[in-house]
Amino acid sequence: MKTAAALALAFGAVAWPAVAQRPDTTAVDSLAADATDISAVFLKTYEANRTRVPVMPRLGRRDLLPAMSRLVFDRDTMEWHNAETVSDLLSKVPGVFLWRGGWIGRPEPVNYQARGAASVEYSIDGVPFLPLGPDSVSVDPSLFPLSFLDRIEVERLPGVLRVAMFTRRHDRLPPRTRIGVASGDLDIARYIVSLERRSVGGFGLVVAAEHLAVPLRRDIPGSYSNTQAWLQASYLPPAKRFGASIQWIRGGPNRENILSTGTPVDTLSQGLDGTRNDLQASVFLRPGRHGLGLTGSLVAARSGWAEDSILLTLGDPTRHVRYVDQSLWLFGGRVGHRTAVSTLEAEVWHRTRWTPLDARVHLGLAPATLLAGSAEVGYQRHDGGRTNRWLTARGSIRLPLRLAASVAGRAGTFVPHPTLKAAAPVSLTDLGVLASFDHPRLALEGGLWRTAGFEPVTFPLYRTIDGIGPSGTTKWLTVSARVAPRQWFVLDGWYSNPIKDRPEGIPPTHGIVNATIQSKFLPTFRSGIFGLKLQGSMESWGDAVIGRDRDGEPITLKGATMFRAQLQIRLGDFIAFYDRANLQGTDLGYLPGLNIVRFASTFGVRWEFSN
């Protein structure tokens, strides 16, 4: 026993130091493993950032369109414009008048060439974005999460715009993070965060969210909040031409009613309180080398609007109305072939609500460097046996001395709002002619448009404007220009006016002028990492009849001039901005009774970086 005890004691004496030394040994090993060579990590990240990985194709994007057919807002353009909403960007299109409800968070539907709620068609990643919920005839683009978008293409046709929105695409190996914080007068707050990740094997993941709150004061109605989320998973094998993706976009707008101050009390702007979910899944065949060859995609999507209830003031402020939840499925596919001088694409969609069949064939040709043309044939079958049949044709030619000209025409039978059972087909023939001169110091574009007579539908969110009077055949003049006498100073803007006729819903003599001072201070910042932009904007329009009340009496809109100023400083991918609207403090607005908030400002920072 004594021997055993002695052996145990001796073993413990030997083992104890060994056990006691293990934490020290582990700590030393851990420190060695955790030691970081900052220079090595930086160089590794730098090299990885130069390696491009495959990204999803932009489904639904039209190739080989003639010159002047569309306006493109890429990521840098959107950042530099410092647009608050998608509507802000669309105001850069000549002929667009926004029915602004007053300030950020209020409705901003687009009226283009007096077509009312039928002015614009929207899509996200090639999937048509349809109106749902309280406003099932038009889309309010101010609700789109601009921070989720990578590119917006606006296809201009006489009488209608097609706005194709594409979500952000990450083409590098290191994860990309984006954060943004903004505030402003009246306790406005905006928060943006996103993380984009791609792997060598082709897997990709995006997680993003944006929250906007406009609480306002008690004496200023129209408070607003919206928390939006975007999740996307994708798979694009590097050496393969196929891929797949699934994404979910969620929005939850909560907008307060804006009531009139007179007697009886009426609703100037209807509120929102619900949730919209858009889910889409696709498999696709990517084009071959240099973007040529066979392409195709199959898409399944579901869109839905749901709400508990919303308070309306239809003569009774205490009345509670519950809308029926709306949802629909959409199934479709595209197939196309692209060569160096031509593109041919066909697409077919089936919707479980309103439009069971939507089929289109698009042809684009560019037989020579100076010539281009396109054509589209479309057919839609709606509920109740109603159909759309149309033909769209465009062509352009580039002339010497930097001149160019294009023509566009659209003819057919259309049901502008299939969601309305009483909407009947109408025959339309719209034409447009454009001419341009493009030089780095001076750019000019003039357009003459002829739109057929039309009876537009008003925007349902504005309850006191019950309708818009029908218009006859109307000719429109649009002019846009950019003058850059110095590299650091730019004047640009546009002007639109109906010739002779005065259709309702859109004011005459409407124009926007921007004066911009911008500099990179290259003598000091030779890398070009620094950027300063100071911009002043003026928007003006004349007196108009904006619509009709419930008794059919005209509602007049007084002509006004609005001033806005923006300051932006950029340091690499870091942006600080300040934006101030209604500089002159006018009590007028874009719609009667919905005045622009005086001296309203927003300011904040955005930063995008690779981890």
Highest-pLDDT range among 81-90, 218-227, 309-318, 357-366? 357-366
> Is the pLDDT reported for residue 19 higher than 70?
no
* Side-by-side strand order, sheet with 160-167: 70-73, 149-157, 160-167, 120-124, 127-129
pLDDT at residue 375, rounded to an integer: 97
pLDDT: is 555 or 200 the higher one?
555
Contact in structure between 229 and 250 (CB atoms under 8 Å): yes
pLDDT at residue 4, rounded to an integer: 45
Question: pLDDT tens digits, residue range 127-157?
Answer: 999 999 888 899 999 999 899 999 999 999 9
pLDDT at residue 25, rounded to an integer: 40
Q: Do strands 160-167 and 120-124 pair parallel, antiparallel, or not at all (unpaired)?
A: parallel
Rounded Cα distance between 611 and 595, Å, is: 44
Rounded Cα distance between 220 and 525, Å, is: 45
Contact in structure between 560 and 544 (CB atoms under 8 Å): no
Question: pLDDT tens digits, residue range 452-464?
Answer: 999 999 999 998 9
pLDDT at residue 37, rounded to an integer: 65
Which tokens belong to 303?
Answer: 């869109």
Rounded Cα distance between 1 and 24, Å, is: 35
Collapsed DSSP state (helix, strand, coil) of residue 87: helix
pLDDT tier at 408, thresholds 50, 70, 90: very high
pLDDT at residue 313, rounded to an integer: 41
Of the candidate ranges 36-45, 291-300, 380-389, 557-566, the one whose mean pLDDT is the lowest: 36-45
Contact in structure between 121 and 161 (CB atoms under 8 Å): yes
> Is the pLDDT reported for residue 445 higher than 50?
yes
pLDDT tier at 596, thresholds 50, 70, 90: confident
Length of the chain (residues)? 611
Question: pLDDT tens digits, residue range 93-104?
Answer: 999 999 999 888
Which tokens belong to 18?
Answer: 């060994």
591: DSSP letter: B
> Is the pLDDT reported for residue 578 higher than 90?
yes
> Is the pLDDT reported for residue 86 higher than 90?
yes
pTM: 0.89
In terms of CATH architecture, what is 49-610? Answer: Beta Barrel (2.40)
Question: pLDDT tens digits, residue range 149-198?
Answer: 999 999 999 999 999 999 999 888 889 999 999 998 888 999 999 999 99
Question: pLDDT tens digits, residue range 414-442?
Answer: 999 999 988 999 999 999 999 999 999 99
Rounded Cα distance between 69 and 529, Å, is: 33
pLDDT: is 467 or 11 the higher one?
467
pLDDT at residue 430, rounded to an integer: 98
Rg (CA), the chain: 28
pLDDT at residue 78, rounded to an integer: 85
pLDDT tier at 554, thresholds 50, 70, 90: very high
Which tokens belong to 188?
Answer: 């406005």
pLDDT at residue 610, rounded to an integer: 75
Share of the chain above pLDDT 90, in %: 67
Average pLDDT, the chain: 88
pLDDT at residue 459, rounded to an integer: 93
Of the candidate ranges 33-47, 51-65, 327-341, the one whose mean pLDDT is the lowest: 33-47
pLDDT: is 569 or 218 the higher one?
569
Contact in structure between 301 and 276 (CB atoms under 8 Å): no
Produce one character per residue of 505-543: b if its CB has 16 or more CB atoms within 10 Å, e if not: bbbbebbbebebebebeeeeeeeeebbebebebbbbbee
Question: pLDDT tens digits, residue range 309-348?
Answer: 544 444 444 444 555 578 999 999 999 999 999 999 999 9
pLDDT at residue 36, rounded to an integer: 56
Contact in structure between 91 and 99 (CB atoms under 8 Å): no
Residues contacting residue 423 through CB under 8 Å, at least 6 positions apart: 386, 415, 416, 417
pLDDT: is 9 or 174 the higher one?
174
Number of H helices, E strands in the chain: 4, 37
Task: Give mean pLDDT, residues 579-595.
Answer: 91
Residues contacting residue 444 through CB under 8 Å, at least 6 positions apart: 436, 437, 479, 480, 481
Collapsed DSSP state (helix, strand, coil) of residue 85: coil
pLDDT tier at 38, thresholds 50, 70, 90: low
The CA angle 501-156-137, to the nearest 5 degrees, is 75
pLDDT: is 38 or 207 the higher one?
207
Rounded Cα distance between 531 and 194, Å, is: 24
pLDDT at residue 135, rounded to an integer: 84
